[in-house]
Chains A and B, each alone.
Chain A
């Protein structure tokens, strides 16, 4: 048996008593209406014995609409209160679930932000690693061009060999070798597709050209035949006189150009260069394809640009 201490007075006062009152408040009204019916019946008190009176009162009570209305309201009240209690319980459950879900949502949002940050950091790392890979690949291509140039006789300080990757409307420098440190350096890293003998080699499959020794004639030739701007020619570190270039194809399409150049005339042996290139086409092709997969100008080029003119 529970003692008086076990009774939850707070719940009793706040829940049980109001609930009981709301459920049974109609009961006194019903009793009152029954009493009223009885009182009205007394006004027209029938004559006769006690049995007849009892039957009369009973019938009067049963026929009185107030008592039936009271009973009906009592039933509706009990059903209504019970239903309301059930709904309140459901509402409480929904409220608790809502609070739990809100807390779960805020936890999930926090986790999403954390994961997005982590993704962001990993993507940045990937981009940085690609840039490092691009540089390492440039060095690898340069070493391969050194290996290639060793197979060709007479390539010295005044000569240079470069590998260019074709990317929609430009050529990107992806490897370069020269014994001369100045000529080895990267000045321009990309070239417009309609300019210079790189473009000629790419469009015609190969190019072999010898430029005039005279500087003015040289400039005029470059402007006229190679579609180059004078100020860009002046900026060039290496003003070569002889060029030999070939387009590199992957079997389906041309993907780049290898270009030999010399400041001295008559140094480049076209037959020898052509043989060496054809022997190494597969390797050059592989280098170009790898460069294509990591080069930032290729990777971050939009299909449809907003700003390019």
Chain B
């Protein structure tokens, strides 16, 4: 199983079982976990390629995986206005997940910080991440570049304050 598959299933397993999780929210939660992991370790948690579009960060690989994976159920429904709703649920919630203590900590933090947020507030959290405040084009997001840039700026500010 690829790392992002483990991450996706772990996140789903930790979300409240009686609540629906939209595919959009799940993907954005993985983005947030990935970004926080970059800041802590300098490497990627999910190894996903992130793209920026009008709804914020997304990943076609994550969306594709959620649709293909046997352990994940994708439920389609339509709203009164014809909008397609895609909700994901996990078949087997008791699977053991190959995640380290640090990864688990970040993923749990992301769930705690964002799962109960309404969409407007959730989007504010996503749009408040450094890469999205800095990005000026639709297309690929280089999280590694932004994480280095962010860390450099933070250390510059700290050293300036010490001086």
What is the CA–CA distance of A117 and B81 in the complex, to the nearest angstrom? Answer: 17
Add 7 more A-B contacts to A110-B18, A125-B85, A131-B54 (CB < 8 A): A120-B25, A120-B119, A189-B136, A191-B136, A296-B54, A297-B127, A300-B124
**B18, B118, B120, B128, most chain A CB atoms within 10 A:** B128
What is the CA–CA distance of A110 and B18 in the complex, to the nearest angstrom? Answer: 8
What is the CA–CA distance of A308 and B119 in the complex, to the nearest angstrom? Answer: 21
What is the CA–CA distance of A122 and B133 in the complex, to the nearest angstrom? Answer: 26
Would you list 14 pairs from A and B whose C-beta atoms are within 8 A, ordered by A residue?
A117-B19, A117-B20, A120-B20, A120-B118, A121-B85, A124-B25, A124-B85, A125-B79, A186-B137, A300-B123, A300-B124, A302-B127, A309-B130, A309-B150
For B130, the closest partner residue in chain A by CB is: A307
What residues of chain A lie closer than 8 Å to B25, measured between beta carbons? 120, 124
Interface string of A117-150 (1 = CB under 8 A from B): 1011111111111010011000000000000000
Q: Flag if B83 contacts A128 (CB, 8 Å).
A: yes
Q: How large is the interface on B (under 10, 10 to 19, 20 to 34, 35 or more residues)?
A: 20 to 34
**A134, A307, A308, most chain B CB atoms within 10 A:** A307
Whole-angstrom distance between the Cβ of B156 and the nearest chain A Cβ: 9
**B54, B83, B129, most chain A CB atoms within 10 A:** B54
Whole-angstrom distance between the Cβ of A232 and the nearest chain B Cβ: 9
What is the CA–CA distance of A253 and B19 in the complex, to the nearest angstrom? Answer: 46
Query: Chain A's interface: helix, strand, loop or mixed, by majority?
Result: helix
For B123, the closest partner residue in chain A by CB is: A300
> Is A116 an interface residue when CB atoms closer than 8 A count as contact?
yes
The 6 closest A-B pairs by CB, nearest first: A123-B119, A300-B127, A131-B54, A117-B20, A300-B123, A307-B130
What is the CA–CA distance of A77 and B136 in the complex, to the nearest angstrom? Answer: 87
B136's partner among A119, A188, A302 (CB-CB below 8 A) is A188
A126's partner among B119, B137, B138, B157 (CB-CB below 8 A) is B119
B positions within 8 Å CB-CB of A:
16, 18-20, 22, 24-25, 54-56, 79, 81, 83, 85, 87, 118-120, 123-124, 126-130, 133, 136-138, 150, 153-154, 157
A positions within 8 Å CB-CB of B:
110, 113, 116-117, 119-129, 131, 134-135, 186-191, 296-297, 299-302, 305-309
What is the CA–CA distance of A186 and B52 in the complex, to the nearest angstrom? Answer: 14
What residues of chain B lie closer than 8 Å to A296, measured between beta carbons? 54-56, 123, 127
What is the CA–CA distance of A43 and B118 in the complex, to the nearest angstrom? Answer: 93
What residues of chain A lie closer than 8 Å to B119, measured between beta carbons? 120, 123-124, 126-127
What is the CA–CA distance of A301 and B120 in the complex, to the nearest angstrom? Answer: 10
What residues of chain A lie closer than 8 Å to B130, measured between beta carbons? 307-309
